[in-house]
């Protein structure tokens, strides 16, 4: 397939060849025939990509604050690397897609192959889209007309929030693409409409659609125009579809509104409000969220759960259907909004028009390639040969951690990078080209069966780790799994059985990198001379993430204890050098808001040599506090490690500190140790017994916590 990407670091807009995505549960695979460039949103994204770093920072002050906090905890160099990596991830463009259904995932059977559908899919000739973000197109609606459905739904949701009635006076401020569609929808509802904009050509279109017009650029006063338009009463509602940093649209809206009028913000404006303007009239002000109820809600968008129609009449999908019905009835004229048409492969020209011509409205991309030619499962990125005696890697998964940390670590450690496979395809190309993989793919089965690949690296969602590990072992591969190994005991038993069948001929390695960090290695060396038991205090100031994030879901991410705290369970096991013999865990009380998730807990581990330790995993701490702290008390001495940057020794003969310029959590050393073991035929750097022990203990802790929740 081919897809349009925006480089946020350098500003280039390109069409990229990638493996076609796999259809997944609750999703449709769509062969695109037409898509619409959103003039407002995409012009902003392209402009952001072309901006300098300073300009990017000015546009996103909240992100600058996050960067400054990260510098405080992780150090400057680590933060710079993270920011560069984030900006180095190209962004898929587009959300107005029309095409023909190629395949239907389980649970999306209300659609069938061959259906003509509208979706919020990207600019790609093959799009994979959740079923609730798709709608069937009536036979009498053309592909070009249907492509306007999503942007029209944005305006429609603003109208629904304004709740206009027949005969009311409504002002639309900013008549770009969404504004002009909003004008038409309001007129269809029987409202009188006043359109305000600085572009006379757009205002003439609004007038053609039945609106009265006002152009402040010609010296016309919007407030006076609104009052005159409403016969001196003040307008009933104002819908702001403009995009500007100015506060004027909101201020003017308040001053032209009647008492208890409604102001709805659909676009982006300055929001320095004058209290008196709103107080004296008891005005209502509301920000509209995109296409309607369900937007940004994972259960609705990704899992396909719908709201009952009697209780939520208009969802995203139902708004799509309502717009399509309006198009079918001829109540919306979108032909007049089309200013440019381009062949998809010439998308660069389309984006040049977008940035250079501020009068551009509806820019359509047309897709004419044969459907069958689009569905390729593997793309060659680099022609190379492989030494069969060296570790040759196949990567399964290319998420943020894989792209930013793990792939660069394996590359730096000298791995041969054969194939990278993802279900969506585009990430495999982005990260494959950057790292120097030979191939990008969506065919994981072929990767695991490829005889040239002797090592599989698994960096997918946690609920798939055990399955892919089992399959890789059965295909004779060495396996590196980014934690966790499994999220249930049943999964763990299957993996262990598959490993035991290899009789130790294949290595099974977990991504427990912290034990390989240089400061941890120093601590281990110091502690090895102490024969008496140790006391450990480990604190993870993990930070809060939403309760509906996939890592928090027990059946997908396994929860944060299995998925993240396992790092410190392994680390304590390593420093103690002794088997874990007892486990106790306690979560925050269930009568508080913060007890919704299992990420505020205390864990006590007991070891066979008499050592014990506590792991404090907290999601309710300050971001400015060190993220990870390790303390060891033994034989009248103390070691304290903060954030893998500063290590202090108290009472240790000949040792007081070991500080680093750059945070080092051992990722590179972990990967290097694994590759060396393969190349030299050595045992795995982490024994299989420890791997399975830590996995079982992590699951046991999570089960203890879940019982407390019940």
Q: Are residues 454 and 481 in the same domain?
A: yes
Is there a cis peptide before residue 484, judged by omega within 30 degrees of 0?
Answer: yes
Domain span at residue 143 reads 2-147+297-366
Cβ(132)–Cβ(315) below 8 Å: yes
Of 204, 144, 209, 155, the closest CA to residue 179 belongs to 155
Identify the pLDDT of residue 579.
97
Position 595 pLDDT exceeds 60: no
Q: What is the CATH number of the domain that holds 164?
A: 3.40.50.720
**Domain limit, last residue, from 366, 388, 410:** 366
Mean pLDDT of the chain: 92
Tell me the average pLDDT across 529-539.
Answer: 95
Distance CA 290, CA 156 (A): 9
Q: Are residues 347 and 490 in the same domain?
A: no
Cβ(309)–Cβ(296) below 8 Å: no
Give start and end residues of each alpha helix (H) in 538-627. 559-560, 566-576
Handedness of CA 338, 344, 348, 351 (dihedral sign): positive
Distance CA 337, CA 326 (A): 16
Nearest 10 degrees: Cα torsion 166, 171, 174, 179: 0
Going by pLDDT thresholds of 50, 70 and 90, the confidence category of residue 90 is confident
φ/ψ of 578, rounded to 5, equals -150, 155
Distances (CA, A) of 30 to 119, 130, 410, 531: 9, 11, 35, 64
- The residues, any chain, with a CB within 8 Å of residue 32's CB and separated by 6 or more, are 97, 98, 99, 121, 123, 124, 125, 126, 127, 344, 367
Q: Are residues 314 and 415 in the same domain?
A: no
Asked whether residue 534 is assigned to any structural domain, the reply reads yes
Distance CA 263, CA 251 (A): 10
Asked whether residue 373 is assigned to any structural domain, the reply reads no
Cβ(30)–Cβ(127) below 8 Å: yes
Asked whether residue 371 is assigned to any structural domain, the reply reads no
Q: Are residues 474 and 571 in the same domain?
A: no
Q: Are residues 627 and 486 in the same domain?
A: no
Q: Are residues 181 and 225 in the same domain?
A: yes
Q: Are residues 217 and 332 in the same domain?
A: no
Cβ(168)–Cβ(189) below 8 Å: no
What is the enclosing helix (H) or strand (E) of 627?
none
Tell me the average pLDDT across 426-450.
Answer: 95
SS3 434: helix
Distance CA 295, CA 292 (A): 6
Of 369, 399, 433, 395, the closest CA to residue 2 belongs to 369
Asked whether residue 606 is assigned to any structural domain, the reply reads yes
Q: Are residues 268 and 125 in the same domain?
A: no
- What pTM, to 2 d.p., does this model score? 0.87
Identify the pLDDT of residue 11.
72
Going by pLDDT thresholds of 50, 70 and 90, the confidence category of residue 86 is low
**Domain limit, last residue, from 321, 343, 366:** 366
Q: Are residues 175 and 111 in the same domain?
A: no
Position 80 pLDDT exceeds 80: no
Position 710 pLDDT exceeds 60: no
Distance CA 306, CA 308 (A): 6
Q: Are residues 269 and 314 in the same domain?
A: no
Give percent of the chain above pLDDT 90: 79
Asked whether residue 292 is assigned to any structural domain, the reply reads no
Distance CA 605, CA 427 (A): 39
Going by pLDDT thresholds of 50, 70 and 90, the confidence category of residue 594 is low
Complete DSSP assignment for 276-303: HHHHTTT-EEEE--TTSTTTT-HHHHTT
Give percent of the chain above pLDDT 70: 92
Beta strands in 110-189 (DSSP E): 116-119, 126-130, 134-136, 169-173
């Amino acid at each position: 397939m081919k897809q349009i990407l925006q480089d946020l670091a350098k500003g280039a807009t390109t069409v990229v060849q990638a493996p076609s995505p796999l259809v997944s549960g609750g999703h449709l695979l769509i062969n695109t025939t037409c898509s619409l460039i959103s003039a407002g949103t995409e012009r902003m994204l392209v402009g952001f990509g072309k901006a300098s770093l300073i300009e990017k920072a000015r546009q996103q002050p909240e992100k600058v604050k996050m960067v400054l906090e990260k510098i405080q905890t992780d150090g400057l160099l680590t933060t710079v690397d993270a920011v560069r990596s984030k900006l180095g991830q190209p962004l898929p463009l587009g959300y107005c897609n029309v095409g023909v259904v190629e395949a239907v995932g389980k649970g999306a059977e209300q659609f069938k192959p061959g259906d003509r559908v509208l979706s919020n899919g990207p600019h790609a000739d093959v799009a994979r889209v959740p079923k609730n973000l798709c709608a069937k197109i009536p036979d009498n609606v053309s592909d070009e007309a249907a492509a306007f459905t999503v942007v029209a739904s944005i305006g429609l949701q603003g109208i629904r929030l304004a709740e206009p009635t027949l005969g009311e006076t409504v002002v639309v401020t900013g008549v770009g693409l969404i504004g002009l569609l909003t004008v038409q929808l309001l007129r269809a509802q029987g409202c009188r409409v006043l359109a305000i904009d600085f572009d006379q050509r757009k205002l003439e279109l609004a007038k053609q659609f039945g609106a009265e017009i006002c152009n402040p650029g010609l010296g016309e006063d919007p407030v006076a125009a609104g009052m005159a338009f409403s016969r001196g009463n003040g307008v009933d509602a104002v819908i702001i579809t403009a995009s500007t940093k100015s506060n004027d649209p909101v201020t003017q809206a308040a001053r032209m509104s009647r008492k208890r009028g409604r102001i709805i913000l659909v676009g982006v404006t300055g929001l320095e409000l004058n209290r008196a303007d709103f107080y004296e009239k008891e005005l209502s002000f509301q920000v509209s969220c995109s296409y309607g109820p369900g937007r940004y809600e994972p259960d609705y968008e990704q899992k396909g759960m719908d709201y009952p129609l009697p209780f939520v009449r208009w969802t995203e999908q139902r708004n799509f259907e309502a717009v399509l019905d309006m198009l079918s009835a001829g109540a919306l004229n979108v032909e007049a909004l089309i200013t440019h048409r381009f062949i998809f492969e010439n998308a660069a020209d389309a984006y040049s028009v977008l940035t250079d011509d501020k009068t551009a409205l509806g820019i359509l991309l047309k897709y004419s390639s044969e459907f069958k030619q689009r569905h390729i499962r593997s793309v060659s990125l680099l022609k190379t040969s492989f030494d069969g005696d060296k570790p040759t890697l196949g990567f399964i998964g290319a998420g943020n951690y894989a792209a930013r940390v793990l792939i660069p670590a394996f590359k730096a450690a000298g791995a041969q990078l054969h194939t990278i496979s993802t279900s969506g395809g585009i990430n495999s190309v982005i990260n494959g080209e950057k790292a120097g993989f030979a191939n990008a793919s969506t065919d994981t089965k072929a990767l695991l069966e490829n005889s040239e690949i002797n090592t599989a690296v698994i960096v997918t969602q946690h609920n798939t780790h055990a399955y892919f590990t089992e399959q890789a072992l059965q295909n004779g591969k060495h396996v590196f799994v980014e934690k966790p190994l499994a999220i249930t005991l049943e999964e763990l038993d299957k993996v262990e059985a598959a490993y035991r069948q290899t009789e130790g001929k294949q290595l099974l390695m977990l991504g427990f990198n912290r034990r390989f960090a240089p400061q941890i290695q120093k601590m281990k060396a110091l502690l090895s001379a102490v024969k008496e038991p140790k006391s450990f205090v480990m604190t993870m100031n993990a930070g809060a993430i939403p309760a509906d994030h996939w890592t928090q879901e027990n059946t997908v991410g396994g929860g944060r204890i299995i998925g993240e705290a396992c790092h410190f369970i392994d680390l304590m096991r390593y420093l103690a050098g002794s088997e874990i013999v007892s486990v106790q865990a306690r979560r925050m009380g269930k009568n508080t808001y913060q007890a919704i998730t299992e990420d505020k807990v205390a864990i006590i581990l007991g070891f066979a040599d008499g050592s014990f330790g506590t792991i404090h995993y907290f999601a309710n701490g300050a971001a400015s506090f060190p993220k990870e702290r390790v303390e060891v008390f033994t034989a009248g001495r103390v070691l304290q490690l903060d954030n893998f940057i500063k290590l202090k020794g108290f009472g240790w003969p000949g040792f007081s500190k070991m500080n680093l310029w750059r945070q080092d959590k051992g990722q590179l050393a972990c990967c290097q140790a694994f590759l060396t073991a393969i190349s030299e035929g050595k045992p795995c750097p982490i024994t299989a017994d420890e791997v399975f022990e830590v996995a079982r203990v992590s699951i046991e802790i999570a089960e203890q916590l879940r019982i407390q929740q019940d």
